[in-house]
Amino acid sequence: MNIIYDVILKKIEKDILSYNSQLQAPATDREIKSVKQSSKNILKVNLPEEYLTFLKKCNGLDYNGTVIYATDRKPIVGYDDRYIEGIISANLSARDVEMMKQFLIFGESDDLIHTLDLSKNKYRTIEAIGHSLYAEYDSFDQLLDYVLNEAFNM
């Protein structure tokens, strides 16, 4: 099945390979099951299937200033001292700010946060400071396609 962001993800993978690195390994079935259960129990949210599909392709991404959270904290391939945050812990930290409790956060880019607005069931990119709406998407796949294209073209 072709997914809207597959083309740009392949370009990113090729770029990463040119630096003698690689994408994060795909999440295992056990990791997917665990993060789904943790999200339901801790965040009280069912993770979108589209996000889980992405994790099955690569378990998190850190590329050109853009981070998409992994199932849990993972070392970045090729580094001993850099990590991709897990979605549960990242969301728990963000929820220290009352307004952020209405969002499920998938990742960030520079001064932007990539989310699902739970109160409106809309995928949105918001500004990290002030939380103003930056962009809105019909699906997680559209959000990810936009975000990855922006990261690749920086």
pLDDT value, residue 120 = 95
**69 domain-assigned:** yes
Beta bridge mates, 67: 62, 108
pLDDT value, residue 28 = 98
- For residue 13, the enclosing domain spans 6-152
**116 domain-assigned:** yes
pLDDT value, residue 44 = 96
**64 domain-assigned:** yes
**51 domain-assigned:** yes
pLDDT value, residue 99 = 87
**136 domain-assigned:** yes
Domain count, the chain: 1
CATH number at 60 reads 3.40.1580.10
Rounded-to-10 torsion of CA 85, 71, 42, 90: 20
pLDDT tens, the chain, 154 aa long: 568 999 999 999 999 999 888 999 999 999 999 999 999 999 999 999 999 999 999 999 999 999 999 999 999 998 889 999 999 999 999 999 888 999 999 999 989 999 999 999 999 999 999 999 999 999 999 999 999 999 998 7
pTM of the model: 0.95
136: left (phi over 0), alpha (psi -120 to 50) or beta: beta
**1 domain-assigned:** no
